[in-house]
Structures are given as C-alpha cells and as structure tokens.
Structure 1
Amino acid sequence: MKTLLKAARETKALKTRELAQLTAIDQALISKFESGSRKPTKEQIIKLSSILEIDYETLMIAWLKEKILYEIGDEHFALKALKEAEEELNYIRIASPNQKISKELQLLLNEIDALKIKLDKFRQFDSFRIAQALELEYTFESNRIEGNTLTLRETDLVINEGLTISGKSMREHLEAINHQEAIAYIKQLIEKNNPLNEREVLSIHNLILRGIQPEDAGRYRQVQVMIKGSSYMPPQPYMVTKNMEDFYMWYETYKSKLHPIILAAEMHERLVTIHPFIDGNGRTSRLVMNLILLQHGYVIANIKGNYESRMQYYQSLETAQTQNNKEDFLLFIAQIEKESLERYIGIIAQ
C-alpha cells in the first residue's frame, strides 16, 4: 500500500505538505504511511483514495491485506484461521446478498463518508433554527409524497402557528402535526440511546395515524392491502407478524455489519415491502430510515415530493420488490443523502 500512495502522490505532482493540506491529515503521518511505519485509518483511506484518485477497491484490499498480515504474523494456525474466516464470510454473503456493493454505489458511499467527515468539523455551528427549518421541509415533502396538498408555508403555519388553512381537510392538518411530532419522537429515541425495536416502530406509526385512523394507529393490519399504482402485492395479513419478527431479527444481525446508508435504506425497503399497516407505511418507513441515519451522525435524507423524484422513488422501490434487485433503490437513497449532506454543510458553513 505504501508504494501505491507514494506513486499516486508523485503522479499528481503533489508534495507531502500539499497532500496534507488537501486531506487534513498531518504531513508527518502521510510520510509514515508512505514509509510503511504507520497504517492509515479507514477514514483516512477514504480521503486518500478520493484526493489521489486511487481506485477505492484496490486501496482497500491493500490496506486490509496489511492489517491481516500484521495481526496474524507467522502464527502457526494462521492459514487454517484464514480458511475458516473465508468460509464464514461466504456464509454472511449468502445470508445477506446486499453485502455485495456495486462500484458505483461504493463510490457514492465514499463521497458521503467524506462529506460526513467535513460535516463533523462544522457541528459546532449547528443551530436549533436550522434543524427546525429542515425538519419542517422533511414533513412537507414526506406528506407531499403521500398526496398531502399543504404548501411548505401552509405546513409551517399549521405546525408552528396553530392556524387552520381554508380549503384544506382536517386529515391534511393532522398529517402535518403528527409527522412533526414523530420527528421529535425519533430524536428523543436517539438522545436516550433507545434501541430500534417493535415497540418504537409501532409508536412511530401510532403518531403518524393519531386522530386520523385511531383504530389502526400502532397496530398491524388484519386485512389484505394493495399498493396503488404498483404491481407488487404485499404479504397476506396472517404473515405480517412473522415477517415483522424477521425484520427485527435481520436488523439485530446486520446493524453493525452494514454501512449506515445501506442499513437505513434496507430497513426502509424491507418495512415498506412488508407493508404492515393499513396506512402510513411510507411515512413510517422513511422515519425509521432517518432514525438510523441520525443515530449514525448523518442528516435526514429528504426525498422530494415532486413528480420526478416521487416517480424515481416508487420505480426503484417496485424494482426491489418485484425483481429482488435493490441496486436502484440503494443508489437512490444514497444520492438523496449525499444531496442532503451537501445542502446541510452549505448552510452551516456559510
């Protein structure tokens, strides 16, 4: 790996001092990386790969190889241990096919991780008013996806001024108020470090349908449903409880093994595919996704409710549901998160 780093830096005609400025990594550390006397962290690998334009997969393989060799050295049982580790890794890939990430998606994840590192430097400039404005936009867009006709300004008046908008239904008013309260609830879960489990998901859904369909709020459906405009047919009601048990088991198994963006997108897709509720599945799934993103220090992935964005969202979901191909959906969510990060940084870094 040390050869890769030095050759790439020299190819770009950069001095170690210049590379240090571009990556925000100490110059002495970069020299040690190139001499092999010090190993970079994964975050530093992401930065170096991006700035030096080294293929991420190539650099990661070299980095992992050196880590493995350093750890096992010339241990007598090293080869046998590696063989058993390979068998276990193969099992994990079979159990979770989405562990295999395309090059396009990996590059996008690298860009997102670089943005998150940048965001962390500006955390001190976070403010309640910025968060409040962005959460209001999220409520507006998430409800707009589901057909709510309140404008952003009207949503603000309903939530923050307690006004009633002439010509708008009571349901639309409640959808705005409920969604904003659901955001506050997931933030409380994060502050208290509460785990994501069945009780919390049902509580989120209960808030979404509170006062709208109280008999169905926070309860799994007991009837068959269809998704308007989609050829996908959700599971029969008698399968919902078992599917949800599998949903939580999957989360517990992979919550520490997947990239947070992939984990959040997977949980969104899996929940909305089970479609466990009579209504409010989309909003609940997006809130669960954003709960996971916020838990890991990312920002709310705000999917827009305009026609083009909504159609891309629905089509990528349907492809995942009917063709067992989640690539388009994972790319879609990753792109949304990247754009949300870029906007957030642009606001607080001014």
Structure 2
Amino acid sequence: MIESAGPDKAETWEIIKEILSDTKPAGRVLSNNSKSRREVIQHVQAFLYLKKRISGRECLSEEDFLNCHRILTEKIPSSGGIQDYQGRYRFCEITVGSPLVLRTGEELCCSPPSKVAEYMKGWLIDYNTALTSCSDPVAVASELKIRFLVIHPFLDGNGRMSRLLFNSLITQYYPHTIVSFGESKHERLRYNQFIRESIRRRAPGIFAFFALQKATKSALERLDEITTSTQLPDSTRIKDSLRRLIKQ
C-alpha cells in the first residue's frame, strides 16, 4: 500500500482473511495473479513464517532472514524486471527515489554492496536483542527500521521487508497490535516524509513518534472491539488518553 500499488484496505483484509482461513492460500485468491495481490499474499506468508521462527527460538538467524525475503518476494520481479534476486543480498549499487541530502550537505547513498553482509550481521544482533529485551519497542523498532532502509540490503522489497520486521518486533510485546502504514494517499505521503526526515537528520525518533501514533491508533481500535462485548474498568479514560496522543 505504501508504494500505491496494492489493493485498497478492504480488499487487502479480504485477501488476508482468506489466507488465514486455510493452511495455504485458497485458489480463488491466487487466481488473480496481479502483482499487487501477489504482494499481499506473500507478505502474509512471510509474516507467518517470521513469527513462527521467532516464537520457536526468540532469535532470527541470517538464514531465516534471507528465507523470509525469499517468501516475501516469491514470483514478484524487481522494479527493474530482474527475476532472480529473492533471498540474497544485492550485488550492485542502487539509488532509491530522489537524492537525499543530509544536513551536512552530504548526499546520502545506500550502503555499498561489499558492506551489506557485514552491516546486516550487526543489524541482526541488535534485532535479536530487541526481541528478548526491549524497554520501548516502538522506538527500538523504528530505529532498526531506519537503519535497515539505509543499508538497503536487497535489490527490491526493502520497504516491505522493513515493515514486516517492524511489526514482527512490535507483536512480540503487543500481540494484538499491527501497525498499518499507508492507508490513504495522505498517510503514504506522511510515512515517506517521516522516513526521509529521520534519515536526513539521522534522528530515528522523528519516525518513532509517527509510528507511536499509528501503534496507538491500532491499540485503540482493538480496545474498541473488546469493550463492545466486555466492560473494562477505566476503559473510557484509557481511550481518551490514546485519542489525545493520536491528535498530537
């Protein structure tokens, strides 16, 4: 949805529900093999794979990580039409979007391909640490997401992979909270703006506050669902506090 290429929210949820209702995607879901639908299907499959690997060991190996990208991008050509890139670190220099100039005047480039494997080893160590011990999951997940996007380890699918890893970490601590980015054109613009500013200023906290608002909205929606059938103590006060945070 961030890249404006996927189905709308309603159709996306229909695809997700149909996949989750069976062990494999139903034939009707796969019958429409458009790239946008395929991306949704593979995103769900990759998320389920990742959660299974994490919950079993509370640790993500490099092999698990690469397999997750392979599932996420299965049968989806890169934006340049390259087919065989899934589950492997990129082997070439890449440019993403318009040039990003840092506050120092320096133009930021993605990590050189010769350094990707080295940088990702350090990134995975920090990600695994966050899976087992984290005092502020949203802030840490945001910082890891920004680092991941700067490294840009794959030829394609980095944005999708970063959101997948972000939510996998969040759900370790808040099992019923999935943070959805890009539900509208305005939200996509905000998302990209916060990403770029966090990278440009080298301040992941900029994106972290945006992510916290989105996580709060998700928690509020979940709380609304619960309180329709169950009366929880102080639920009104909690909801009001969450709504104030979203509006900041």
TM-score, normalised to structure 1, is 0.53
Q: Secondary structure at the match of 2:91?
A: coil
Deviation of 1:169 (Å) = 6.3
1:175 aligns with 2:39: yes
| Deviation per residue, 1:92-145 (Å, 9 max, x gap) | xxxxxxxxxxxxxxxxxxxxxxxxxxxxxxxxxxxxxxxxxxxxxxxxxxxx11
Matches within 5 A, 1:40-59: none
Q: Give distance in 1, aligned partners of 2:54 and 2:117.
A: 26
Higher radius of gyration, 1 or 2:
1
| Structure 1 vs Structure 2 CA RMSD | 2.5
Q: Give distance in 2, aligned partners of 1:194 and 1:184.
A: 14
Q: Is the 8 A contact 2:182 2:191 kept in 1?
A: no
**Which of 124, 144, 148 is the equivalent residue of 1:271?**
148
Q: Give distance in 2, aligned partners of 1:209 and 1:190.
A: 20
Q: 1:202 to 1:178 in 2, by over 3 A?
A: same
Q: Which runs of 5+ in 2 are unaligned?
A: 19-25, 78-82, 101-107, 229-248
Deviation of 1:216 (Å) = 0.9
Q: Secondary structure at the match of 1:192?
A: helix
Deviation of 1:230 (Å) = 4.9
Identity of aligned residues (%): 27
1:249 aligns with 2:125: yes
Q: Is the 8 A contact 2:46 2:72 kept in 1?
A: yes
Q: Is the 8 A contact 2:194 2:207 kept in 1?
A: yes
Match of 1:296 in 2: 173
1:259 aligns with 2:128: no
Q: 1:267 to 1:197 in 2, by over 3 A?
A: farther
Q: Secondary structure at the match of 1:163?
A: helix
**Paired letter, 2:89:** Y
TM-score, normalised to structure 2, is 0.73
Match of 1:234 in 2: 110
Where do 4+ consecutive residues of structure 1 move more than 4 Å? 156-159, 252-255
Q: Secondary structure at the match of 2:59?
A: coil
1:312 aligns with 2:190: yes
Match of 1:147 in 2: 4
Q: Give distance in 2, aligned partners of 1:290 and 1:247.
A: 16
Q: Is the 8 A contact 1:201 1:288 kept in 2?
A: no
Moved more, 204-213 or 298-307: 298-307
Q: Give distance in 2, aligned partners of 1:182 and 1:165.
A: 16
**Paired letter, 2:181:** I
1:192 aligns with 2:61: no
1:286 aligns with 2:146: no
Q: Give distance in 2, aligned partners of 1:195 and 1:155.
A: 29
Matches within 5 A, 1:1-350: 144-155=1-12, 160=18, 162-163=27-28, 170-213=34-77, 215-231=84-100, 232-252=108-128, 256-298=133-175, 299-350=177-228
Q: Give distance in 2, aligned partners of 1:324 and 1:241.
A: 22
Q: Which runs of 5+ in 1 are unaligned?
A: 1-143
Greater fraction helix: 1
Q: Is the 8 A contact 1:205 1:284 kept in 2?
A: yes
Equivalent pairs, count: 206
Q: Is the 8 A contact 1:316 1:332 kept in 2?
A: yes
| Deviation per residue, 1:172-200 (Å, 9 max, x gap) | 23112111211222332344244123222
Q: 1:290 to 1:257 in 2, by over 3 A?
A: closer
Q: Give distance in 2, aligned partners of 1:308 and 1:206.
A: 30
Deviation of 1:296 (Å) = 1.5
Deviation of 1:164 (Å) = 6.7
Q: Secondary structure at the match of 2:92?
A: coil
Q: Give distance in 2, aligned partners of 1:187 and 1:254.
A: 14
Q: Secondary structure at the match of 1:145?
A: coil
Q: Give distance in 1, aligned partners of 2:171 and 2:15.
A: 25
Q: 1:320 to 1:150 in 2, by over 3 A?
A: same
Q: 1:149 to 1:289 in 2, by over 3 A?
A: closer
Q: Is the 8 A contact 1:182 1:207 kept in 2?
A: yes
